[in-house]
Structure 1
Amino acid sequence: MEREAIYTEESMEEIESTDWDFMGENTQMHLHSLHPYPARMIPQIPAKAIELWSKKGDRVLDPFAGCGTTLLEAVIRGRNAVGVDNNPVACLISSAKTAYYSEEDVKCLKDFLETLDAMINSPDLIPSIPVYKNMEYWFAEEAIDELGKIRACIHTLEGKPRQMALCCLSAIIVRVSYQGSDTKYVRKVADFVPGSGIKGYKVKLKSAIKCIEEINEKKTGKAEIIRADGRNLEAIGDSTIDLIVTSPPYLNAYDYHKYHRHRMQWIDGDVAFARDNEIGKHDTFTRKGATPDKYFEDMARCFSEWYRVLKVDAYCLIVVGDAIVSGEPVPVGDRFVEMMNAVGFTFRNRWIRSLDVNRKSFNQQARIKKEHVLLFKKMYNKL
């Protein structure tokens, strides 16, 4: 069954719009192509929202930061970004993309890239290889060795250069493994070409350095990345956020902790925390007799936190798709409107956007063709 957008109060003709489609536009500019990430929001959406409903110096929150799309668009527009995610890979990507790199930082990365082969070929280098169950099942022996050598070299760096270098390593992990793809956690054995891991890493790092130099001076805002459960934003004060732009995990679509599991191991991330705090994960809602109730319970807690941290007269834009659970369609967009109103938000508008299925980073088998763009406003503080 295909996942069209579902709506119960209005007809398609009344709400469908191309205002948020951005068909044919480049979605990989700047550092947005730094790291693979399933189902990422295209940058044009937060860019438009930030321009419409915030001003320079404002604080923009993405409570499901993912790969930092909203955060990067905020900082290059002079806003201060706050990103929250339970996944250490997401936090690493967001941090690497949004950081401002000094001339010294850039020089350090260039020197690292230039001397990487010499370091790797040094007889004194001891590969830095994480220990976790079934690693040999998922990687060729030569791939493990190459990744371990790169990782050992990265450990010689500090600060932002180390962060970016590690992010580039994370970006190539799935490509050199036996994992089927970034959205398929199945083993698919293929011959590993010796040297391809190191070559791929150097290409990725070189591209990242180029992107840093192209966009660095545009980053006039600052970003704060918080690794936390999105249902509890205790690190963010009451009424301190000027705009929320986010795309929550889609119900029954992905298992981010699973697709990023090997990456988390190689960056020393907390796999259990990401797994246990993931909302809407596919594994949970494909079980026999599953219902969507837990997803909406989790999102209700998130919505209450968003209301608490958002300032009065500030907006919240949500991008979300509908779902199928136990063979039944679930009108997620409509439920979100009801739940946000119950929390205290005022519903302002809804658009239905069509996805470019030939280009999107979704698993094609998810068959999501349309999604909701929902706009809310906080009109007052509760007594």
Structure 2
Amino acid sequence: MQKTENMSKIKLFTLKEAAAYMGKSIHNISYLITYGRINKYSQTGKIVKKINNGITYVSKKELDNYSKQWSNQLKQRRDLLKIKDQELAFYHLSEKERTKHIHRLHPYLGKFIPQLVEYYLQKYFKVEDLILDPFMGSGTTLAVCSELGMKSIGIDISEFNCMIARAKLEHYDLEKVSKEIDKIYNQTKIFSDNWNLHYKITDPIIKNNDYLNSWFAKRSLAEISFYKSKISEYEYQDILKIILTRAARSSRLVHHYDIATPRIPIKEGESYTCRKHLNKLCMPLDRAIGKIKIYSNDTKRRIQEFSELRQTDNFQILHNDSRTIDLQNNIYDKWKNKKIDGIFTSPPYVGQIDYHEQHRYAYEIFGIPRDDDKEIGRKKLGKSKSAHIKYQTGISEVFANVIKAMNPESKIFIVANDKFNLYPKIIKDAGLEQIGFRERPVEARAEGDKAAYSEKIFECGIAKP
């Protein structure tokens, strides 16, 4: 592609062309520019800091060099793991493919990639089978089941996780949901344009909330409060709540390089040296409306894509404790005389994530009750010996309970890192028996991830009496 005489010496792509060439999104290419991994070029082929008018270009050679360097880093991590079986690594998939359609409706720490679920469901189960995920999380297993035409049940102790899963799996009237998303955004945009410092939030949950008033700028919180106040006017309320909480997450008073796990907020209007933006002086976001617009458009696209792929909406989402739920009665309420045919799940890893706390902004905005004390393996409890024992007891209790509603010949697949070798005892105590085992190297989940990382997949059956 030759744009000018200068550009004939340097192969240049537009951002759209670069995204297609790399198998990534335009956002991914912009990210590389922002982080200084590649340069920004003008139409005349000159390296520039800013494009005032015209189209932004990037260099094919720089893209190739970056890709090669990144691939070498990943290869070094893979080699450290010494895993010969590479079938389940899915190295050929781009990040965009690994988070296809609804799997990125809302950020969620601890989810697995849909291709892993798809591999096992297609290999070991039939389309008429009923699949359970007793640690549903954001609903990945249920979404893949819907694509494959399979019935599914998900259970989770977190009410917000259930909201995410419902929003993903809802069978939408696409024209109506698109209009609702656009209308509530436009209402909020008008409010934002007319906002001033004298505005008083009236929402009783938000206005005197110390957490929200510390973590959000005044204007951001006002926009969030206004958007929330309009949700009840619409039919598809879960998806609107997810758009709002996703926008809120990105609009907190945090450093741009620390969106995922910030520990404390920074002051509104306070500048800092930003590692994300090449050590420039940055300030936290002081409004949420921009993120609401971005995620509104992204959400419409994702639910449209999923609607074209799904083959069924035969699923059930249960907000409950998998250790104690009467699962059989819940199944009979929806599928008379049906038993569960299999499990595909990834339980929480011991001492790694606080599943309620990671979405605290959502719980605070909507006043959602929390069940932190019922989380198994929560980060707050640590990784001590006593934490390991408590974790083993909790996980084994889940499987011991749910197998009461399963066919005797059911197949059970458990995805876990298990670096502490806790699962042999869990499997035995739960009344299961291990049939097989595989280990998969995990692609770096972000450029900052430096450690080699793997997951184990335990194939189990129900132990014979």
Task: Indicate whether the TM-score tops 0.5.
Answer: yes
Once the two structures are TM-superposed, the CA of residue 72 in structure 1 deviates from its matched residue by 0.5
Q: Take 1:301 and 1:309, find their aligned partners in 2: how far apart are those partners?
A: 14
* More off after superposition, 123-132 vs 140-149: 123-132
Distance 1:250 1:47 in 2: 22
1:266 corresponding residue in structure 2: 365
Contact 2:215 2:253 in 1 (8 A): yes
Q: Which amino acid aligns with 1:209?
A: K
Aligned pairs for 1:110-259 within 5 A: 110-112=181-183, 115-116=186-187, 117-118=189-190, 128=203, 130-131=205-206, 132-158=209-235, 161-178=236-253, 180-189=258-267, 191-194=283-286, 196-221=287-312, 222-237=314-329, 240-259=339-358
Distance 2:328 2:288 in 1: 40
Match among 109, 112, 118 for residue 41 of structure 1: 112
- After TM superposition, the structure 1 = structure 2 runs for residues 54-73 of structure 1, keeping only pairs within 5 Å, are 54-73=125-144
| Change beyond 3 A, Cα 1:260–1:343 | same
For residues 305 and 183 of structure 1, do their structure 2 counterparts lie closer, same or farther at Cα, with a shift above 3 Å needed?
farther
- % same residue: 22
Give the aligned residue type for 1:353: R
How do 1:59-98 and structure 2 match up within 5 A?
59-98=130-169
Question: Matched residues in 2 for 1:340 and 1:286: separation?
Answer: 20
The whole-number CA distance in structure 1 between the counterparts of 2:127 and 2:181 is 32
Does residue 1:283 correspond to 2:370, yes or no? no
Give unpaired runs (5+ residues) of structure 2: 1-80, 271-282, 332-337
**Does structure 2 conserve the Cα–Cα contact (< 8 Å) formed by 1:56 and 1:78?**
yes
Structure number with greater CO (CA < 8 Å, separation at least 6) is 1
Secondary structure of 2:234 counterpart: coil
**Structure 1 residues not aligned, in runs of 5+:** 1-11, 324-329
Change in Cα spacing, 1:188 to 1:107, as seen in structure 2 (3 Å) is closer
Report the number of matched residues: 351
**Aligned residues of 2:224 and 2:288 also touching (Cα < 8 A):** yes
Which deviations, in whole Å up to 9, do the C-alpha atoms of 1:105-160 show, x marking residues without a partner? 435435525643346668999764624343222222121111111111222212xx
**Larger Rg, first or second structure (1 or 2):** 2
When normalised by structure 1's length, the TM-score is 0.82
Deviations 1:274-303 (A, max 9, x none): x1111101111257x754111111111012
Query: How far apart are residue 372 of structure 1 and its match?
Result: 0.7
Q: 1:228 to 1:16 in 2, by over 3 A?
A: farther
Secondary structure of the residue aligned to 1:61 is strand
- Residue 18 (1) aligns with residue 89 (2): no
Is 1:303 aligned to residue 380 of structure 2?
A: no
C-alpha RMSD over aligned residues = 2.8
* SS state at 1:314 partner: strand
Distance 1:304 1:148, change over 3 A: same
